[in-house]
Structures are given as C-alpha cells and as structure tokens.
Amino acid sequence: MSIKAVRGFKDILPDEIEPWYRVESLARCVFKAFGLKEMRIPFLEKTEVFARSIGKHTDIVEKEMYTFIDRSGDSLTLRPEATAGLIRAVNEHKLFARSPVLKLFTIGAMFRHERPQKGRLRQFHQINAELIGTKAPFSDTEVIWMAWDILEQLGLKDLRLEINSLGCPVCRPGYRNDLKRYLDDVFQDLCPDCQRRSKINPLRVFDCKHEACRKIMAGAPLNKEYLCSECRDHLDRVLDFLKALDIPFIINPCLVRGLDYYVMTAFEIVSPDLGAQSTVAAGGRYDGLLKALGGPDLPGVGMAIGVDRLLLLLGKDRKGPSIDIFVAALGPEARREVISWIRHWRRQGLAVQMSYEDRGLKAQMKQADRAGARYVLIVGENELDKRQVMLRDMMTRYQHEVPVDDVISAVEALVGRLRVG
C-alpha cells in the first residue's frame, strides 16, 4: 500500500509553485518599500510561548495546537501563528534595543489541528508583518496599507476591510463584565462552545457561526459604547489615515479576533469569493505581548495574509511560459557549440534548457512544448555551416534566422522585451 500525505497537509507540486513565487516576491517588494526586514523563526516553540500570548482558554490553545512532550520532557508546539514566536525572538535577541521601531516580516507555514476544508488546511502558509515599538495610530494604518497594497497589486477585486476597536485594559473590563452578564441570562440558548466561551472568553461568542447564537448576539452590548477617550481617538485617527489613502472600510462592532493578545485596533480584509472562509488578511494591535513574554512593555501591531486562501482567489491561471529558451541542438558539434551560450544566458537570469540526450528535431520540439518554452533555438550542423541559427516563437509559431555572432544579444533582447511587455 502506498503512503499518502497526512490529512490536511498538502503537497505543492512543480506546476503549482509559480503563483507562490509571484505572491512571495511581491510581498517582499512591498515590505522593502515600507522599510521592513525579514526574519525566519522556528516552526517549533515551547508551548508556553503560545499559552502565555494567545491565551490558555482560546480555541487555538485548547483544541487546535499540535503539542507533544519531547524526549527531554519539554512541552513543544508546532507554531499555530507567527506573531508570538517572532516576539519571543525579538525579546531573546534584544532586537528592541537596535531601533526605536522594529519593522519585521516573516513568511512560512503554520499548523493547526482543525477539520480540513477549502481554504483551511492543517498546514497553512502566512505572510506576516510586524511593527514593534510604536503606539502611533499611523502604524496601525501602515500594516493595513501593506496588506491592502499586496492584495490590490495582485489584482484582487471586491475586497472589504472591516475594522473595530477592542478597547484597552482601562475600558475593556467594564464591557467584558456587562457582556458576561448578558450571556449569563441567555446561557441555556447558546451552543455548547459558546457556553464555554461565555465563562472564560465572552468576546469570542461574537465569532460563533451558529445561526441561533448569531441572533442572540444581535442584542448583546457592543464594545463601541464602552471605549475610553484614548481608544476612541486612536480609532478615529486610524480611520482618518485610511480615508486619506482611499482605502474603503466599514466599522464592524462585532469583529473580534481569536487571540487574547489583541487590544484596540482589530481588522480583517475579506473577499466574497471565498465562501465561509472569507478572511484573506487580518491583524491588529498587541501592546502587551512583548511584556507577557518577559520583555519590556513595548507596543506592537501586525498583520497576516493567508497565502493558501489568496491563491484560491488568484486561481490557476498560468502567468507566462515556464522557461525562456529551449535549445534544440542537433548533433555533437552543435551541442558543444551551444554550451557556452547556455552558461551565459543562465548567468543573466534566463531560464534555459537543453535535452540531455542527443535526439532528433521532432522529439526535441515536443520536449520544448511540454517544458513550456516560449522560444526554441534550433542549432544543427547545417545552421552552423551557414552561421545562421533558427529562433522559433512557440506562441505565434513564427521563426526567423539569427546570425551566430549575434545570437547571445538577440536572445537576451527578445526575452527582455517579453518580460517588460
């Protein structure tokens, strides 16, 4: 019996990888423009990192994490999200001492033991951006701006930004107490999950997908009525910056995030084309997180883009050829002649292939077509005798002769025009 991948873990096959490169490359370009630097953090952390930051009584910690005891007796967890591990690294290496505001990003896989479905796998991938060291409202806007910019440059349409303020340690306790009293009165009508949440994390009841619970929460008190003046002013300034950037938004007073470390600003960017799993990017402010992990009391704000869901929106449309040039060299002399050309083009960044076997022209043309070549350069003994090789466009089927002495520059110019176009 053949062995298959673990349920909820997906292989990314060679003909599927190009969109991943496209998304990650664009994200890196955007982050560079905003002044962010990349970090790479471990997949595996001490369980305490997530229990202390995300919250012991969140769904993620209680039901979704891949946690095990290793041979040394330590409790370890595959990271269910990136922010807590990144903040752990910032504290461990004292990165906060290097700059008044740290601007960091990371790209990689996360792991949660959930029921696999479209847009929600057990191994999923995120692009994360974090700004640490400032409480300025513009920093909240900037992480939203980065996410919006990436999605917009990828050509996504009909996106919706939803935003809310979750309050702060000054104003949230009063709201939490009133919400808990409301939930106590309707306790028997809540689903089992929400009955549990109402006792330990009442704001999470707003996130329930059961229709009965959603109707009950329509009458619940809303956080916006309890915000202190600092939280109201902070949200208003964030919204003013969004207006200046022409980023459309709606205030969603029921929006909460599933992680305990969020305070004040919380947001989601959703797409109507994703069905139930509609969130493609999300984030918010986490001012107490660094302190909770043993560091100084510095503010922070960040966002994450779900790459798997993003690729569902982009679809499977192939963007351009797989390789630039396939060299169909016919005979030993031709194969020796073209080796130096291929080396030069590859060093210039062109994707160039040649058949490993000495095969006929018909077989090599089929190979070039299967490889997804945009152009084929045909070089045989006759072409070398005439000092004229044949260059064929595989899309238009047009072909023309190119002098051997000009072939290197001619190919580079042709592929360069193609990429610019």
Q: 10 Å Cβ neighbour count for 265? A: 25
Backbone angles phi, psi at 134, to 5 degrees: -135, 140
Q: Cα–Cα distance between 419 and 286 in angstroms, integer?
A: 42
Interatomic CA distance for residues 103 and 191, integer angstroms: 41
Distance CA 117, CA 309 (A): 11
Burial class (CB in 10 A: 0-12, 13-18, 19+), 351: middle
**The pLDDT of residue 211:** 86
- With tokens 């580079």, the residue in question is 412
CATH of domain 14-171+227-314: 3.30.930.10
Alpha carbon distance 393, 404 (integer Å): 18
**pLDDT at residue number 73:** 93
Question: Residues near 236 by Cβ (< 8 Å), separated by ≥ 6?
Answer: none
The phi and psi torsions of 386 (rounded to 5 degrees) equal: -80, -10
Q: Do 14-171+227-314 and 323-413 have matching folds?
A: no
Q: Are 141 and 119 in contact (CB under 8 A)?
A: no
Of 109, 89, 139, the closest CA to residue 267 belongs to 139
* Gap between the Cα atoms of 9 and 200, Å rounded: 31
Measured between alpha carbons, how far is 103 from 96 in angstroms, rounded to an integer?
A: 10
Task: Answer yes or no: are the C-beta atoms of 59 and 192 closer than 8 Å.
Answer: no
By the 8 A CB rule, do 125 and 109 touch? Answer: yes
* The model scores a pTM over 0.85: no
Alpha helices in 186-223 (DSSP H): 192-200, 211-217
52/50 Cα distance (integer angstroms): 5
Compute the Cα dihedral for 288, 293, 296, 300 and give only its sign: negative
Measured at the CA of 279, the angle between CA 278 and CA 280, to 5 degrees, comes to 115
Task: List the domain boundaries for the chain.
Answer: 14-171+227-314, 323-413
CATH 1.10.3290.10 given to domain 323-413: no
- Phi and psi at residue 213, to the nearest 5°: -65, -35
pLDDT tens series, the chain, 421 aa: 899 999 999 999 988 888 899 899 999 999 999 999 999 999 999 999 988 877 666 667 777 899 999 999 999 999 999 999 999 999 999 999 999 999 999 999 999 988 887 778 899 999 999 999 999 999 999 999 999 999 999 988 889 999 999 999 898 888 888 888 888 888 888 888 888 888 878 888 887 878 888 888 888 888 888 899 999 999 999 999 999 999 999 999 888 876 778 899 999 999 887 766 688 999 999 998 999 999 999 999 999 999 999 998 887 544 556 789 999 999 999 999 999 999 999 998 899 999 999 999 999 999 999 888 999 999 998 888 999 999 999 888 899 999 989 999 888 888 776 554 4
pLDDT at 216 (0 to 100): 85
- Cα separation, 37 vs 116, in Å, equals 33
Tokens (6 digits) for 369: 């077509």
Provide the edge-to-edge strand list for the sheet that holds 67-69.
44-46, 75-78, 67-69
Ramachandran region of residue 119, left (φ > 0), alpha (ψ -120 to 50) or beta? left
How far apart CA 108 and CA 111 sit, in angstroms, is 10
Write out the two tokens for 248. Answer: 């459309």
Q: Nearest-CA neighbor of 47 among 20, 72, 84?
A: 84
